[in-house]
Structure 1
Amino acid sequence: MVELKGDERIDFLLAEENMRIIQSDQVFAFSVDAVLLARFTSVPRTRGRILDLCTGNGVIPLFLSRRSQVPITGVEIQKRLHDMAVRNVNLNELEDRLDMIHGDLKDMPKVLGNGRFDLVTCNPPYFPTPAHDKRNENEHLAIARHEIYCSLEDVIKACSRLTKSGGKISLVHRPGRLADIIELFRKYQVEPKRIQFVHPKQGKEANVLLIEGTRDGKPDLKILPPLYTHKDNGEYSDEFREILYGK
């Protein structure tokens, strides 16, 4: 049996009906953004290595384990979330392929080595760090949402150093940071290759950005068709429902 702590619960991992995940509303529960990134990114299928930074409770490695047979490493700076990630690996009996590291992503090139991974994914904090009196009082949620321990540049610099030449880097973020992301990609020798915007419904501005780049790649950017998460009546769109729950 896997131990649950505090207000933790075990949920099914959406479309992966035979997978489960430990979550907590007070510590960490994965968002739709993680599902979208795991579905969007290109993955090495049978050879190579995958790294997920800001892994939280390990949700993206769990999703990617169904798309790839290669070893997957997750890195999480918060000790409580790292502990949840380790228990999620055990819960799904994936100890032979998934490994969770407690540490700072800025230290990972030194810890893991430069250019070791074929794919690096990250669902980073989205928002600049506010003044102390304006932060979420819940420390776990504040760290996950705000650039308290890592800036966008820290994330992209680490991704670049950890990815081998020709390898992929995939991020989920907010559309308003697109110019910053492309600027930092190129600063650190990552060429943007694929972009997809996610909209809450047709006629509404995009609220999620998915972007993938290639380390030392050549310029050739493709804009994928937009993804709409909801129909006009508020129900999930057919495409989004399939992403969440499968066919």
Structure 2
Amino acid sequence: MSKNPFIFKQFSVNQEQCAMKIGTDGVLLGAWTSIKEQPFSILDIGAGTGILSLMLAQRSHAEIIDAIEIDDRAYEQCVDNFERSPWGDRLFCYHAALEEFVDEIDDTYDLIICNPPFFSPSLASPASSEEDTLMSNARKTARFYDAMPFGHLIESVSKLLSENGIFSVIIPFKEEKTLIDLASNFKLTPKRILHIKGTPSSKIKRSLIEFSFCAVPSNTQESDLKVNCLIIETSRHLYTKDYINLTKDFYLKM
């Protein structure tokens, strides 16, 4: 297992203790999430390496950037990544489960961001050693639906999000309608959606969705919903202009 950090333009991320490594999903979400309302406080649910918090610390002037991470090893790594970053004074990670955090925190956040688990346990592969077993179990916690069911996530967000706040999330495209329907039960409505395709000919793989509380019935807001599509590559390692423009502030070679 490589112990080399993942180097971005303004910070680096160690990830050897984290089951979930740096990936395109997290970078897309961290770069796409809107900060035009200049959030004072940000919450990163299921922080892992802390990549989303670090990206938003680079992009915004938010004075409070909190993160939650339940896994012991990932929590320790996240704290270390925060402390080594240029924005350590604005970053803090809680070692807690989401339900504990909701019960204990009275504050609300202007922006909540999450790259939630969305792999089924049936996709698990057998571990080959004790260390592999530990990492495999951590990976299950990080990636499986039942580690953070969408219903539990949405309900928690509805309690932690400020009245005019934004919730930004990335999920498999096939789960888009399910999440939007769940969110509507808590008066959260989508304002922006970005569909992700690997290549021009491939199917939509991911949905990035921005939610906010709706002040009026959702059927009158449908025309306000902005849906766009982003294609990552035109061919192998030949990235599109849209993808480069979105991620160029972070990736070294963009």
Aligned-residue RMSD, C-alpha: 2.2
Report matched runs for 1:1-247 at 5 Å: 8-13=3-8, 17-24=9-16, 27-43=19-35, 46-70=38-62, 71-113=64-106, 116-130=108-122, 134=124, 137=127, 138-218=136-216, 219=218, 220=221, 221-232=224-235, 234-246=237-249
Change (3 A) 1:184 1:190: same
2: CA distance between counterparts of 1:64 and 1:163? 17
Q: Which has the higher helix share?
A: 2
| Contact in 1 for aligned 2:109/2:160 (Cα 8 Å) | yes
The Cα shift of 1:162 comes to 0.4
Question: Which residue identity is paired with 2:230?
Answer: L
- Pairwise CA distance, 1:160: 1.2
SS, match of residue 179 in structure 1:
helix
Return the offset for 1:30: 1.5
Alpha carbons 1:166, 1:217 under 8 Å: kept: no
- The superposition leaves residues 123-143 of structure 1 with CA deviations (integer Å, 9 ceiling, x where unpaired) of 000124439xx4564112222
Structure 1, gaps ≥5 residues long: 1-5
TM-score calculated relative to the size of structure 1: 0.87
Cα distance change of structure 1 residues 225 and 91 upon mapping to structure 2, 3 Å threshold: same
Q: Hey, what's the Cα distance between the residues in 2 that align with 1:199 and 1:215?
A: 28
SS at match of 1:9: coil
The 1:44/1:112 distance shift into structure 2, 3 A limit, reads: farther
Secondary structure class of the residue paired with 2:43: strand
User: 1:245 and 1:12 mapped to 2: Cα distance?
Assistant: 13
Deviations 1:66-102 (A, max 9, x none): 1111111010111110111100011114221010011
Instruction: Supply the AA of the counterpart residue of 2:97.
Output: D
The range that moved more, 67-76 or 20-29, is 20-29
Pairs aligned (count): 236
Q: Deviations over 1:152-194 (max 9, x none)?
A: 1111111111001121111100000011111111011211111
Q: Is the 8 A contact 1:143 1:149 kept in 2?
A: yes
Counterparts of 1:41 and 1:26 in 2: how far apart (Å)? Answer: 23
Please give the secondary structure, in 2, of the residue aligned with 1:28.
coil
Contact 2:117–2:142, Cα closer than 8 Å, also in 1: yes
CA change 1:216–1:106 in 2 (3 A) is farther
Please name the residue that 2:133 is paired with.
none
**AA in 2 matched with 1:213:** F
Give the share of equivalent positions with the same residue, in percent: 22
Match of 2:201, SS?
coil
SS at match of 1:224: strand
Runs (5+) with no aligned partner, structure 2: 128-135
The worse-fitting range, judged by mean Cα deviation, of 36-45 and 180-189 is 36-45
TM-score by length of 2: 0.85
Cα-to-partner distance string for 1:31-63 (whole Å, 9 max, x where unaligned): 111111112212266552100101111000000
1:118 Cα shift? 0.6
CA distance in 1, matches of 2:75, 2:27: 19
Superposition deviation, residue 239 in structure 1: 2.0
SS at match of 1:81: helix
Cα distance in 1 between the residues matched to 2:29 and 2:100: 23
